[in-house]
Amino acid sequence: MLPFLESAGWKTSIIFEPEEANEAPNLSGVLERVVSENCNVVILQKVSGQSAVALVKGLSEFGIRSIFVICDRVDVKMASVADATVVISDYLKSLYPPELQSRIYVVHDGIENPECFKTDWGCHNDPLRSVLVTSHDLDSLPIIDFPPKWMRVCIVGRYQFGWQRLREIYWKLREKCHSDRLSYARFLMNRNITCVPWSPDTVWREMISADIGVIPILNSADVESGGLPPDWKRKSENRLTMKMSAGLPVVATPIPSYEAVINHGQNGLFASSAADWFRCLEKLRDPGLRREMGIAARLSVTNSYSKEEQAAKLIKVLNDTKSD
């Protein structure tokens, strides 16, 4: 994103970067550095907490504007003190109080590798090859449970490499009760399921090799404690648009951010129950339909979710905030 900002005339510098992942770091000393570098606008990306609130208030006293960027959470306290807040979906924006709406902007995740896409969607006689990309180390296949004999599922997730994977499996088995151990063992021994450690290259290689993308999401609760929608409802569309840009026809659980992207039956498919899932998967055994839907999927996201388009939206936020 920084090259796009600089080409639009914004001089950028990274003022603070924590040594370890921490969404509520100690930001003491940052205000003095911002002032010394004559910054006009400060972007606080995934940073919140008391220290962040104090920093934003300090910036305001010096006439320095602040933009709070947050992914899949709702942080009313930070949004109340910042001059602008950037969220990743219209749904997340809708969760903020009415009085803050004019200062909430939507900037989506831009597609990382738009030049990588499929040109082959397999044939009738081959098994249906699917890919599921996750940030978790799944030990079961949500909703689908066990794929039919004509389907293969590659899960690209937070798994360990080599012998460390064996150690990971050992400790998972030890932590589980007897019935869960049996389920996990069945998952591990299922020849139609492959678990692959995540890496940038692996993700795109597996997507290009697959016939379809799948995003099954367990949606057990509608409300979390505190009255906010649960985590699964607040997910971004990033993994969906990534698969679609690769030319994959995708079957997904309908969640708010996905409903804004998929036109069911045209550029993707929605499935809620297990029966829905198996009907959609059966339909996509047709390589002609996979090709048609995959091409439509790619065409529907490559421009509207491109890095260039999202950079333009962020630049507008910067310009609006600076001129207020």
* Residue-wise pLDDT tens digits, 234-253: 899 999 999 999 999 999 99
Query: Are residues 136 and 73 both part of a single domain?
Result: no
**pLDDT tens column, 274-298:** 999 999 999 999 999 999 999 999 9
My answer on whether 179 and 227 are in the same domain is: yes
57, 145: one domain: no
In a domain, 258, yes or no: yes
81 & 150 share domain: no
d(CA 217, CA 133): 12
My answer on whether 73 and 161 are in the same domain is no
pLDDT of residue 324: 64
In this prediction, what percent of the chain has a pLDDT beyond 70? 98
Amino acid 222: pLDDT:
67
Say yes or no: 104 and 159 in one domain: no
Is there a single domain that holds both residue 283 and residue 313?
no
**pLDDT for the residue numbered 238:** 94
Would 81 be classed as within a structural domain? yes
Domain interval for residue 100 = 2-110+306-323
pLDDT of residue 4: 86
Structure tokens at 229: 């929608």
Residues 135 and 272 in one domain: yes
Split at pLDDT 50, 70, 90, the class of 225 is: low
237 within domain boundaries = yes
Mean pLDDT confidence for 61-75? 92
Which is more confident, 319 or 214? Answer: 214
Same domain for 146 and 265: yes
pLDDT of the residue at 221:
67
Per the structure, how many domains does the chain have?
Answer: 2
Closest of 212, 184, 232 to residue 128, by C-alpha? 212
- Kindly state whether residues 149 and 286 are assigned to the same domain: yes
Q: How confident is the model at residue 301 (pLDDT cuts 50, 70, 90)?
A: very high
Q: Does 115 reside within a domain?
A: no
Per the CB < 8 A criterion, the answer to whether 282 and 149 are in contact is no
In a domain, 67, yes or no: yes
132 and 97 in a common domain: no
CA distances from 52 to 55, 68, 219, 320 (A): 5, 10, 32, 22
The three-class DSSP label of residue 131 is: strand
Residue 117, domain member (yes or no): no
Query: Per the domain annotation, does 58 fall within a domain?
Result: yes
Q: What is the CATH number of the domain that holds 94?
A: 3.40.50.2000
Q: What angle do CA 271, 157, 111 make, to 5 degrees?
A: 70
On whether both 138 and 94 belong to a single domain, the answer is no
pLDDT higher than threshold 80 for residue 229: yes
CA distance 218 to 109: 23
